[in-house]
Amino acid sequence: MKVVLFGNREFASLAWYVLSHDSPHEVVGFTVDEAYLTDATHHGLPVVPFEQVEQFFSPLETRMLLPIGPHDANRVRQRKYLQAKSKGYEFISYVSSRAITCPDLDVGECSMIFDGAIIQPFAKIGTGVIIRSGCHVSHHVEIGDFSFLAAQAVTGGMTKIGSHCFLGLNSIVIDNINVAELCTIGAGAVVTADTSENGIYVGAPARRRPRPTDEVSSP
């Protein structure tokens, strides 16, 4: 299957490499918003403006993948997903051959699971999810759409991670915890209780840190 990747920087390069060396797919080009189009090629392949991508890579012949980081609470990845959908594109997902998964893995489209990740039975991975190297997703865990798990993040059994969440490096969510949508779990944090929506949680045990919008101005 021919694939066009969104991006022209390091994460897009990583996706190009793993697809080229560890998948049956053929990367045929890259696309970025025209305002960020600085070079005509990337890894010897054409880079085209996203606004006109369908004129260069037909949605009838090419699928797309969005190696976009957790910018703006993963909303950038969701926006590009919806925009590409409106152009008629379908998406691949990538699961590393060096990840440990079950044959009946339930993973949504446009997701990426990198090397060394462990996804146990009955886990469900949503649409547009990125799970980096060395993560452990335990049994009966649900990872919501457009979430991002940084390297070595761990989720205990029966946990539920809401949509648009970010779990930082080496963070831990213990068993039977619900992480509400739009939460950021800091690097090394240990979540031992359910979280509230749009929270930043740091420390061990993790505590909510105020966002600017949470703070009350002094009289």
> Is 149 exposed, middle or buried, given 0-12, 13-18 or 19+ CB atoms closer than 10 A?
buried
Closest listed residue to residue 59, CA positions, set 68, 50, 47, 69? 50
User: What is the chain's pLDDT, residue by residue, as a tens digit (219 residues)?
Assistant: 999 999 999 999 999 999 999 999 999 999 999 999 999 999 999 999 999 999 999 999 999 999 999 999 999 999 999 999 999 999 999 999 999 999 999 999 999 999 999 999 999 999 999 999 999 999 999 999 999 999 999 999 999 999 999 999 999 999 999 999 999 999 999 999 999 999 999 999 999 998 766 544 333
The number of folded domains in the chain is 2
Task: Please report whether residue 214 resides in a domain.
Answer: no
Q: Among the residues of 23-113, which ranges form H helices?
A: 53-56, 75-86
| Co-location of 136 and 194 in the same domain | yes
| DSSP designation for 118 | E
Cα 188 to chain centroid distance, Å, stands at 19
Domain that holds residue 161: 93-202
Find out whether the peptide bond into 205 is cis, omega within 30 degrees of 0: yes
Tokens of 153: 């993040």
What are the backbone dihedrals phi and psi of residue 205, each rounded to the nearest 5 degrees, phi first?
-70, 155
| Co-location of 66 and 142 in the same domain | no
For 9, residues 6+ apart whose C-beta sits below 8 A from its C-beta are: none
The CB density around residue 197, as the number of other CB atoms within 10 Å, is 11
| Co-location of 82 and 156 in the same domain | no
pTM above 0.85, yes or no: yes
| Co-location of 129 and 69 in the same domain | no
Q: What is the pLDDT of residue 217?
A: 38
Question: Which CATH number is 173's domain given?
Answer: 2.160.10.10
Domain boundary among 86, 114, 133: 86
